[in-house]
Amino acid sequence: MRVTQSMVSANSLRNISSSYNKLAELNNQVATGKKITKPSDDPVVAMKGMYFRSNLNQVEQYKRNLSELHLWMDNSEAGLEQATSGLDRARELLLQGKNDTNSGDERAAIAKEIGQLKDDLVNVANTKVNGKFIFHGTDVSNPLVTSGSPPTVAANINDPAIDNYGVEVSQGITMKANVSPASTFNQEMFDVMQGIEDKFNNNDTEGLDDLLERLDKVLNSMNSERAELGARSNRLEMVEARIDAQEVMATKVLSDNEDVDMEKAITNLSVQESVHNAALAVGARLIQTSLIDFLR
């Protein structure tokens, strides 16, 4: 086979062009830190990247849901703690007011404090977080309690449909964010508080033992709901730890698929620059050779 000058020149130019492409590819990898800059560079890596990124986005959404759940539960716990403190204080005042040594004026003063505690319970029951009433189950747009004597609790608190404000925290796993309104800020609690206030305003000690028994039941129900909320908070922490681990793993897998080994890329770039410069030098000597050069 006869090798002509044009064949040598064409091969040399083709190899130099290929070297330019390889040099540009390695330079992009070093500059971006990514193996590919467009799907056509490596369709397999691109497809895997889409799948891995989808998984990572899902995990990040679950983390945002967990933040909402934490906010909801923390505010619920704070509200129940404040309500429990108010009910405990009402119990102390009830025991104090039962004493026969109290005068009518003293019981009237106790009634005023009971009234303030009752109003505070209404405020707690209507706590809003991010514009949502957190103690009204799924009916987050409407207040749970309307002020009055006694305050009136929404009629739908016993409806099972509103008793579970759920937030998805993992694939197929939904956690309840709210406390049960029927077990916490129910009509019985406000009726008992109103009954105590009225009794002391009227200096009437009849039936106080019954009110004390009812108040204890209200307190027990509130404490049971707080315990249940605490158990869910503990579970939430475990779910959060698992989601954090999933995020780390998803990020690592995505990085392994798309991110370039920077040390290797820089080394390859340096080698390719040397190869390219050598190709340019050799090509320059070959292409400039002509018949005149041979006749010299």
Structure confidence at residue 17 (pLDDT): 65
**How do residues 61-106 score in pLDDT, each as one tens digit?**
888 889 889 999 999 999 999 999 999 999 999 998 888 787 888 8
User: Could you tell me which residue, 190 or 41, shows the higher pLDDT?
Assistant: 190
Determine the pLDDT at residue 288: 59
pLDDT tens digits, one per residue of 139-195: 889 999 998 888 999 988 888 888 888 888 888 888 888 898 888 999 999 999 999
* Stretch 214-226: mean pLDDT: 93
- For 12, 80, 83, 186, 219, the CA distances from 226, given in Å and listed in that order, are 80, 7, 11, 15, 10
Query: What pLDDT does residue 279 have?
Result: 64
Q: Which residues pair with 174 in a beta bridge?
A: 168
76 close to 135: Cβ distance less than 8 angstroms: yes
For 226-252, write each residue's pLDDT tens digit.
999 999 999 888 888 888 888 888 888
Say whether pLDDT at 293 is over 60. no
Q: Write down the pLDDT at residue 86.
A: 94
User: Does the structure show a pLDDT above 90 at 115?
Assistant: yes
If pLDDT is split at 50, 70 and 90, which confidence band does 125 have?
A: very high
Q: How many residues does the chain have?
A: 296
Comparing 33 with 195, the larger pLDDT belongs to 195
pLDDT in tens, 267-284: 766 776 666 666 666 666
pLDDT at 287: 61
Q: What percent of the chain has pLDDT over 90?
A: 32
Query: How distant is the alpha carbon of residue 9 from its chain centre?
Result: 64
Q: Is the pLDDT of residue 1 over 70?
A: no
Count CB atoms within 10 A of the CB of residue 50. 10
Dihedral sign for Cα atoms in the order 93, 96, 100, 106: negative
* Percent above pLDDT 70 for the chain: 77
